[in-house]
Amino acid sequence: MIDPRLRDRVAVITGANSPLGIGAGIARALARQGVKVLLASLPETPPASTTGADRIYSAAKATSTDHVRDALRADGADAESLAVDLADPAAAPAIFDHTETHLGPVEILVNNAALCVPDTFRPDPARGATTVAAASLDAHHAVNTRAPALLMAEFHRRHLRRKARWGRIVNISTDAAPGTPDQISYWATKNALESLSRSAAIELGSAGITVNTISPGPVQTGWISADMNTRFAEFSPLGRVGRPDDIADLAVFLASHQARWITGQTIYAGGGKRMI
């Protein structure tokens, strides 16, 4: 049996309020290894009218973070939650203060939260999208790029202050980060997150902190309809779309003792949809 040596470590996971999401999956997987988890999320207000998969996805994202916390506790985990707006620059110290008060010093940081609102360079956007503008770019940057950067900086400051020598940062990107149509701001800010991760890996390594990025392909978190599922499955040599636990298991590995010699890497987890 492989021991990842994670018992009683303390983790912060952002974007973990949806019970169908990757963040909640990572929280469950870490908790099974005895990690104490703090879920830092802000439920989203669902659109006025949605149908099918969009309705399931919107309802899941509107779930209170406490719901996932309570489910973890019911399984015996040591879990806390904090409703926090990651677009607020004051969120980072507030998250770490809350975690230290209730669980202890943060040793694992998982930046999973993301804003994704379709936008395009086209002046006549398709239904559901908007033409890219300053407001959309700034909103995506605040959550997808600035918040992880501030959280990594806060993690490092507190790590140095207590003279710690072990730390793990796992950032969640997307395999379309290099750029594709119709979600311009989302892809761009995720690509920036991958750059931040590599820079952090270089600068934080001397303190014993590894920094890696998981870049998932399509993962069923409630948004993939039956037709999309069939189409996306054709992109993968393994013949299916991803599940949250596919990403969660990789996050546990990157946090583990066994991944001690891995840092500054972007790992594509999409069943072979993208290869390099």
Classify residue 183: in a domain, yes or no.
Answer: yes
CA distance 185 to 22: 21
pLDDT in 10s for each residue of the chain, 276 residues: 899 999 999 999 999 999 999 999 999 999 999 999 999 998 877 665 555 667 878 888 888 899 999 999 999 999 999 999 999 999 999 999 999 999 999 999 999 999 999 999 998 877 778 999 999 999 999 999 999 999 999 999 999 999 999 999 999 999 999 988 889 999 999 999 999 999 999 999 999 999 999 999 999 999 889 999 999 999 899 999 999 999 999 999 999 999 999 999 999 999 998 887
Specify if 70 maps to a domain.
yes
Give 1: exposed, middle or buried? Use CB within 10 Å, 0-12, 13-18, 19+: exposed
CB atoms within 10 A of CB 182: 15
User: Among residues 186, 187, 253, 268, which one is catalytic?
Assistant: 186
**Does residue 275 form part of some domain?**
no
Residue ranges making up the domain that contains 179? 10-269
Task: Count the domains in the chain.
Answer: 1
The predicted structure's pLDDT at residue 84: 97
Residue 137 lies in a domain: yes
Mark whether 186 is an active-site residue.
yes
Sign of CA dihedral 164, 16, 116, 218: positive
Assign residue 82 the CATH number of its domain: 3.40.50.720
Q: Would you say residue 4 lies in a domain?
A: no
Q: Is residue 5 part of a domain?
A: no
DSSP codes of every residue in 243-255:
-HHHHHHHHHHHH
- How far, in Å, CA of 67 to CA of 140, rounded? 26
Q: Is residue 2 part of a domain?
A: no
* Amino acid 125: pLDDT: 79
* Residue 274 is assigned to a structural domain of this protein: no
For residue range 257-272, list pLDDT tens digits in order.
999 999 999 999 999 9
